[in-house]
Amino acid sequence: MVRAAKASMAAHVRAMLEFHAAGVPTVDYGNNIRQMALEEGVQDAFDFPGFVPAYIRPLFCRGMGPFRWVALSGNPEDIYKTDARVKELLPHDTHLHRWLDMARERIRFQGLPARICWVGSGTGTAWGSRSTRWSRAGNSRRPWYRPRSSRLGLGRLAEPRDRGDARWLGRGVRLAAAQ
């Protein structure tokens, strides 16, 4: 059974390598599939990056992190109202505005309405205090749940092989991945 699973992972990584060679953004999502493929003889298994070093770590290096909130009321309108408030808080962040607009148009809620966005350090705290005042003033159904923000150290990978990875921060400064 294990042998068949590893052979399947190797086939999967070979297909991913074909996508990567064709210019399709391709990443390992931290499940160690590339290592299993390497052990099965796929010598170029690590020719495409992991998700965290490719997408998440660069955001952390810029001081950005995930900011999430959930409308415990169950009412999607509360999320839409908060989208508008976040836009007011960050009026010049066009990328964030596009994300919030796209999320409203294309993503259907499953379970409690929730939202996530990536913002700079301190923005989540500023939003938290404003949203509390806003809710107390009766502008949304309460309560809200805002999970604790991720720490920058979470930019590390669970994959032992990638622990030596390093990223340039600019001006010749390197950041080594956390062990």
Rounded CA separation 37/125 (Å): 43
- Active-site residues, by number, are 117
- Of 93, 67, 69, the closest CA to residue 79 belongs to 69
Domain 2-58+153-176: give its CATH code: 3.40.50.10730
Q: Write the burial class of residue 3 (CB in 10 Å: 0-12 exposed, 13-18 middle, 19+ buried).
A: exposed
Pairing, β 173-176 against β 166-170: antiparallel
DSSP state at residue 172 = T
User: Residue 106: its pLDDT value, please?
Assistant: 97
| Structure confidence by residue, pLDDT tens digits, 68-125 | 888 888 999 989 988 898 898 889 999 999 999 999 999 999 999 999 888 887 776 6
Task: Show me where the domains of the chain are located.
Answer: 2-58+153-176, 63-150
| Structure confidence by residue, pLDDT tens digits, 20-65 | 999 999 999 889 999 999 999 999 999 999 999 998 999 889 888 8
